[in-house]
Every structure is written in C-alpha cells, then in structure tokens.
Structure 1
C-alpha cells in the first residue's frame, strides 16, 4: 500500500496526515504536535483505521525535534518504505513561486534567499525539508505555497505606501493562510452551493497565526496580512498591525535594536504581551474572569477581529 504524508508547519505547531494512495485518498493517520517550544508540548494523533486516538507530552523545543517522533509513529503504523511522497505547506513563496513544485536544491536556495520575508516560518520549514530528505532520500517532497491563494489580489491591494523602488525587491502585500482559505472555499461550495461560494465571502483563519480574507467571485480581493505574517490581526505572540513610528521611538527611548524589535513583535507581543501570562486563547478564556490582563487580551482580539470584518 502506497501512502502520501502531508506536513503543515505552523508557528508553534506541526500537523501531519497520512493518506492511502487511491481514488478517494482515505486518511490513515492524522495528528498534531502542539505548543512547540513550550514546556508542555503535546503530540495528539488518531489511527483512523482503528478509530483510536492517543496523546502524550513530548519534548519539542523546535519543529525539527518532532521528526524522529513522527518517524517512530509512522514505523509503528505502516512500512515507512510505503511513503511515496511528502507534501509541505510553505508559508511564503515570495514573488516567484505560486504553483506547487518539487523541492530540490534550487528551490531550497530560493526559499533561503527569501527566508527574511517570513523568519518565523521559512527557516523551520526548510529545516524540516532537509531532515526529511535525509531520512527519505528517494521520496519526492512537494511544496505548496500559502501565498498562492492571494496571488491575484488587485494591484491596489498589493501596493504598500512606501517608495516604489522597494517593489522591485519583492516588497508588497502577499497575504497568507492561502491553503486554509482554498479548503474553506471548497467546503463552502460543498455545503452551501456554488452561488454562495461565488458571492461576497469573508473567511477567517484563527489560530496561533490569525488572518481574515475578503473573497469575491471565488478570488481573494483583500486580506489582513501583508508583506509578512506579522501584519494584520493581533495574534498569539505576534503584534499584528502597529504604528511604524514605534520602531524609532523604542530605538530612542529603550535603545532597542532591530533584532530586539523583531523578536518583540514576533515572540513577545499579541495575546502573550497583553496578558503577560499566555499566548494560548484557551488559557486566557479560563483565566479571564479572575485576571484583568487575560480579559483584556481576549477583548482586544475580539475587537480587532470585528473591526477587520467590518472593514
């Protein structure tokens, strides 16, 4: 029995699914490494054929640390040699990549070149590709790009109001979570019909990374994220949109460097920054009645989500 392994690497999670290669592509195994980088990282998986679910705490300081655990799990469920292809969700394709393509040396080099476009996603994705290539050298890996769904954005939506010369360097609004939005559009058509899916639609992807998209006639016409996945709605540890004047202000008042500012907006802000306790909405909802900081973090997230939908 041949199978296909899919990898969806998020900012603090790694989802995986194993499919049997047949006409209907039935699932064999699905699972997720959650809270990667935190002390209470967890592996949850379901053996679909046996209808059995399991979970356990794991040591997962980063995404690469999940690979041996995943391979061990695969070896228990199937013959690893049966894996015929590995598909990756890649958060950023830059100005060059839109269609799915096979991962090879030139692709890895281009992804490294644009890794500064998505510094909290692309490096870990590249590392996963390299580790899996070493483990499964004969198995093709296919990259599917999260930015592709928004590639037809109207030009006015892509433009950023900075000197035009930066556009030649690839600086524009890209938008993200495109694979999620593509799936949502397929499901919307299946559930509500082609007319509903072809109308005016607002889609929301709400996780550790969060964004919204406006869709008309089946195509993305605007989205909350921008040049990087740090823009838009407040997220778990990412700030979302900020006044750019903060860069100079914090540089003057706190002597904050570029690296420190980047770390702050990606890893120390959002729900974590406001609550000072957790980046996980589940934790904040459990604490909001007793902790005003948690309550304000939840309220800020809901306020911004409603504001973006209204826009």
Structure 2
C-alpha cells in the first residue's frame, strides 16, 4: 500500500475488499491478474472484537490471536493491522482499488460507485437506516480517503441488487409524501443474492432462472424471491430490522408494540433501538444465545430454560416458513429453494425443520445429503429442488469494484 495508484485497476493488480461491522472487519485480497477473477481470495481474514477488551486478528488457515489495538482509535488501528498484512503480500504488485460492502445506498446509489468526499457525505445520511453497519464502513472509507487518497475506493451496496423490485414491493402503506421523501422498502443482503444469481445457474442450470427463493440465514437474515435471476420480492424492507426473526433483531413487528413501549412503559428512543437491534430475536426469546446451534442444545432442558429454547426455535422456523410461503405465492409457485450464509449453510437441523413445515409445497429432503451440507439436499421425490450454496459477498464486491473503476 506504499506505491502510488494513479490509474484505475488493470489486470495484474490486486483489489482489497473490506466488510466492516460495529466490532469487526472482514478483509479479502483478490488477484485481478487472472481472468476471470478467482472466486477464492489470495488472502483473507478478520479483525474481531474492535473496541472491546480482547480483540483478535486471524488470517486464512491461522487461529485468531490477540492483537493490540489503540483504545483511543481502535478502528484506525485495526485498519493499520490489515494494511501491514496487505503490504506483506503485494510482491511488487500494486493495490489498485479498495472495495467496501456498504449496506445502504438509499434511493440514489444502486451500482458500485467510486467514493469521494461528496459521495461519502451522501452515504452518511443513510446511517439511521443501517446503524449496525453503515457508520463503520463509512469510517473506514473516511480514514482511507484521508490516509491514502491515491487509491480509488468503491462502495458496493447491499441494497443495489433489489433495484429491480417492482414498485408494489417497494411501496410502504404510508402517506404518499413519505414515498416522495424516500421512505420505501429497499431490501438488503444484495451482495449475497447477487452471488447467487451467478452461482445458481452454474449448479442448477435453467431451473435457477425460474421461481427461486434464496434464504440468507446468518446473524442477520432475509429471503429473496428471484425470477429470471432478478429480485422480485424480499423480506427486509426500509431497514435491516424487517422480515425474519434474527439472532438479536426482531424482524417484522407490530408497530403498535413500539408505541406501547414508548408511551406506556416510557422507554426512550435509544432504549427501544437497543431492544430491537441487540436484545431481541433468538437471544431475547431464548435467553440463551443468538446462535441456533447453541439454543438447540437446550431444548431438552427442564423447566423454563428448555421451554424458552423450544419456543425460540419454533418461532424462528415459523417465521422463515411463513415468509417462504408468502414469497412462493408472489412467484406463483416454487422451483428451487436455496439456503446460504452461516446458519443456512451449516445448520442441518434448521433446514430440516423448515423443509418439514413446507412439505405442503412438495418439498422432501434427502436426510443423508442434508446432514453433510450437500449442494443438493432434496430427494428424488421432491417437487421442489432444495440446495445449499455457500455465499461469496467479498468476491462480488471485488468483481464489481473492478468493473466500476476499470
């Protein structure tokens, strides 16, 4: 990162992808010297626990280890640690671009965009819509604009893939002037769904161009209905709180409950925000964990602990099943259901319970294939193919940055 970058990315250069959250930065370095761009990064890893008492740094194939970060400027310190790793791997080549996963592009930004001071100022206006991610991605961009203005940066938006949603899916049932001010359903996890639009035809052929629902189940979770490899409906809306029940977030919630909490129980706006984003979902209902694989271990516990664990997972699955059913109705049927992201890719019991409750659509699992997270987990008797497809948001960001800046 010490050589000048006075031109846009060209073949032979490297592109760095940063995926910044409130307490972590995932990073990946891709070799743009190969055509097509390799799906797997040349190097990747994660700084975790930024701002906390015990941050760690881990690279591919290396166990995460404690890392010393400046407590006064932990994010800057974490970026510096990543920068050192990048420098060690340049091998005489040039870092030509940095791509950032930016959660919200609002009603203005859809395609990957080179970020300058003016664009950064625009994107800061969307922080209230994605407070868990937006401010931290923008902090990293601001630091790098200041420290390395010679390296072009591209913002790749999680909302961008859903630009194809019809207006009836974007519209909120609020007064019309709210729509005119930009209050609408945007959709999220777009980089993941964009990868699915590339990977699914490779694995499933023309079936992937039909009536498809992709379930992105991680700490955040959403569903996307795709037809012709384009987003036609999704469960997340104006913010990343909407839709499915998540690890610590509520998902869709009766707004009357919020009015009650604020008017009758006198919770402040900040307290309600903390509850909705950090103390609800699986963690809030179970009282155990935000991770399904942890909660499931307590279903057999006696008393309230076991009951809450069972109810939490039942509600978690119910919300997924209900929304898949709704999206299947929008699509007019279902040809392919695909699970992705951390929970979707690795928790066979979640997939089994969801598909069990969708048997009315003709879903039938191959239990052996499901147990080993196989690419196709439906049985030959299933009228709907069911798959498991690892997502690759970092590759999408790198590819899109090269296209946008090249």
TM over 0.5: yes
Matched residue SS, 2:264: helix
Farther off after superposition, 287-296 or 171-180: 287-296
Change (3 A) 1:9 1:158: same
Matched residue SS, 2:245: coil
User: 2:24·2:50 contact (CA, 8 Å) conserved in 1?
Assistant: yes
User: 2:16·2:29 contact (CA, 8 Å) conserved in 1?
Assistant: yes
Higher relative contact order (CA 8 A, sep 6+): 2
Equivalent in the alignment of 1:55 = 64
90, 99, 104: which one pairs with 1:78? 90
83, 102, 125: which one pairs with 1:90? 102
For the pair 1:212 / 2:223, whether they are aligned, the reply is yes
1: distance between equivalents of 2:182 and 2:320?
Answer: 28
More strand by share: 1
1: distance between equivalents of 2:154 and 2:32?
Answer: 15
Matched residue SS, 1:139: coil
154, 170, 175: which one pairs with 2:182? 170
| Residue 72 (structure 1) shift | 3.1
Matched residue SS, 2:143: helix
Equivalent in the alignment of 2:316 = 301
Farther off after superposition, 124-133 or 238-247: 124-133
CA RMSD of aligned residues (A): 2.4
For the pair 1:245 / 2:256, whether they are aligned, the reply is yes
Farther off after superposition, 177-186 or 31-40: 31-40
Change (3 A) 1:201 1:13: farther
Change (3 A) 1:143 1:216: same
Change (3 A) 1:201 1:256: same
2: distance between equivalents of 1:303 and 1:187?
Answer: 28
Equivalent in the alignment of 1:49 = none
Change (3 A) 1:155 1:138: same
1: distance between equivalents of 2:320 and 2:50?
Answer: 25
Change (3 A) 1:240 1:11: farther
Matched residue SS, 2:29: strand
User: 1:86·1:142 contact (CA, 8 Å) conserved in 2?
Assistant: yes
319, 325, 342: which one pairs with 1:310? 325
258, 262, 270: which one pairs with 2:273? 262
Equivalent in the alignment of 1:68 = 80
Change (3 A) 1:147 1:199: same
2: distance between equivalents of 1:221 and 1:115?
Answer: 25
- 1:119-134 equivalences in 2 (<5 Å): 119-134=131-146
Equivalent in the alignment of 1:279 = 290
- 1:16-27 equivalences in 2 (<5 Å): 16-22=27-33, 23-26=35-38, 27=41
Change (3 A) 1:100 1:158: same
TM-score normalised to structure 1 length: 0.89
Gaps of 5+ in 1: 47-51
TM-score normalised to structure 2 length: 0.69
Gaps of 5+ in 2: 1-11, 327-406
Matched residue SS, 1:211: strand
1: distance between equivalents of 2:238 and 2:79?
Answer: 29
Change (3 A) 1:43 1:271: farther
| Residue 258 (structure 1) shift | 1.8
| Residue 286 (structure 1) shift | 4.0
Change (3 A) 1:176 1:191: same
| Residue 45 (structure 1) shift | 2.2
1: distance between equivalents of 2:230 and 2:81?
Answer: 38
Count of aligned residue pairs for this structure pair: 305
2: distance between equivalents of 1:138 and 1:187?
Answer: 34
User: 2:22·2:133 contact (CA, 8 Å) conserved in 1?
Assistant: yes
| Residue 129 (structure 1) shift | 0.8
| Larger Rg belongs to | 2
Equivalent in the alignment of 2:130 = 118
User: 1:11·1:208 contact (CA, 8 Å) conserved in 2?
Assistant: no
| Residue 120 (structure 1) shift | 1.9
User: 2:21·2:132 contact (CA, 8 Å) conserved in 1?
Assistant: no
Equivalent in the alignment of 2:212 = 201
19, 24, 29: which one pairs with 2:43? 29
Matched residue SS, 2:267: coil
